[in-house]
Amino acid sequence: MMIHIKTIENRIIQGGEISFEEAVELYNAPEVGGLLHSANNIRKDFLGNSGELCTIMNGKSGKCSEDCKYCAQSSHYTTGIEEYDVVGLEKALFEAEENFQGGAHRFSLVTSGRGLSGDDFEKVLDIYKRIKEKSEIKLCASHGILSYEQLLRLKEAGVTRYHHNLETSREYYSSICTTHSFKDRIDTIKNAQRAGLEICSGGIIGLGESVEDRVSMAFELRDLGVISIPINILTPIKGTPLENAERIAPLEVLKTMAIYRFLNPRAYIRYAAGRVTLGEMKILGLKGGVNAALTGNFLTTTGTSIKEDVKMFKELGFQL
């Protein structure tokens, strides 16, 4: 299997691709060390030692109309989540600049709900415009299902990258959410690209999906040309349908991220929510194809400090 892994690695470095069957085979192979080593070689060949840290701020919390089974913010479940409307301008400005001074490269507001409209959308536009004027940090946005016209206005306000996760595979999606479709997510991503925005899109592992589902999502992201791929590890939230979901093993996380590197050699493969469950094994991911991270506090869970991540990335030779 080591020779097989190396053969596929060389093929990708030479501009070739990996098939669905090969990706599943690599995932299920017992030789994890070789898989991680080859994924890292692909990362270095396509992206060198470039690393990136991004931060998010919960810009509107709770009362979400959607029924995503993993989410604390859904109004369909009772989770005790704090609820509030769009955050104030000064608070967002302060957090964006503080994150930039701490070493983060990107900042995004994330709002609950199917999408944003009316006064709420105008408020976040104003926030992005002001941050663009006051700070050097690059701007991302994550506001659910938006129209092409809205996405174009975000770009005009200074946003350069739109975040919209696929969450899981096309085949498994209806098992996780029924209030909107996988196609709705794909359409939003394509509208964002048409508006001139880069795309940040990934998903959550540990939802009960199969290995084939994880690989299928990686192919969808490849076909969409996604530049930033956050991989979240499910943190079961009490009150949601997945509160008793079995925790995914750290080795499964590392294998998933390595396979995503094989399929998306030019993308930033990004640690996101839940990576604290990896403990010291997170270092293996950064030696196995991962080259980016969502840092600081997340939406409804706690992350890792920017200072800690800057130190870790630099010690491993990444250029931030």
Given the structure tokens 């979400």, which residue do they identify?
A: 64
Residue 73 pLDDT exceeds 70:
yes
Token pair, residue 259, equals 């396979």
3-state secondary structure of 206: coil
Asked if 273 contacts 20 with a C-beta cutoff of 8 angstroms, the reply is: no
pTM assigned to the model: 0.95
**% of the chain exceeding 70 in pLDDT:** 97
Task: For residue 229, name the pLDDT band (cuts at 50, 70, 90).
Answer: very high
pLDDT digits (tens, 9 = 90+) for 136-180: 999 999 999 999 999 999 999 999 999 999 999 999 999 999 999
Strand residue runs (E) in the chain: 52-60, 106-111, 138-142, 159-163, 198-200, 203-205, 228-233, 268-271, 292-294
Residue 22 pLDDT exceeds 80:
yes
Residue 68 pLDDT exceeds 70:
yes
3-state secondary structure of 280: helix
> What is the secondary structure of 242-273 as a DSSP string?
TTTPPPPPHHHHHHHHHHHHHH-TTSEEEE-T
Identity of the amino acid at 224:
L
Residue 212 pLDDT exceeds 50:
yes
Asked if 270 contacts 303 with a C-beta cutoff of 8 angstroms, the reply is: no
| Cβ count near 48 (within 10 Å) | 11
* pLDDT at residue 305, rounded to an integer: 85
**Alpha-carbon gap, residue 213 to 176, rounded angstroms:** 12
Angle at 62 between CA 57 and CA 63, to 5 degrees: 145
What's the rounded mean pLDDT across residues 55-75?
Answer: 91
**Alpha-carbon gap, residue 142 to 58, rounded angstroms:** 10
Q: Which CATH class is domain 2-11+18-315?
A: alpha beta
What is the rounded average pLDDT for all residues in the chain?
94
What's the rounded mean pLDDT across residues 290-316?
Answer: 82
Task: For residue 211, name the pLDDT band (cuts at 50, 70, 90).
Answer: very high
* pLDDT at residue 2, rounded to an integer: 60
Asked if 64 contacts 247 with a C-beta cutoff of 8 angstroms, the reply is: no
**Alpha-carbon gap, residue 170 to 181, rounded angstroms:** 9
Task: For residue 304, name the pLDDT band (cuts at 50, 70, 90).
Answer: confident
**Alpha-carbon gap, residue 57 to 127, rounded angstroms:** 12
* pLDDT at residue 81, rounded to an integer: 86
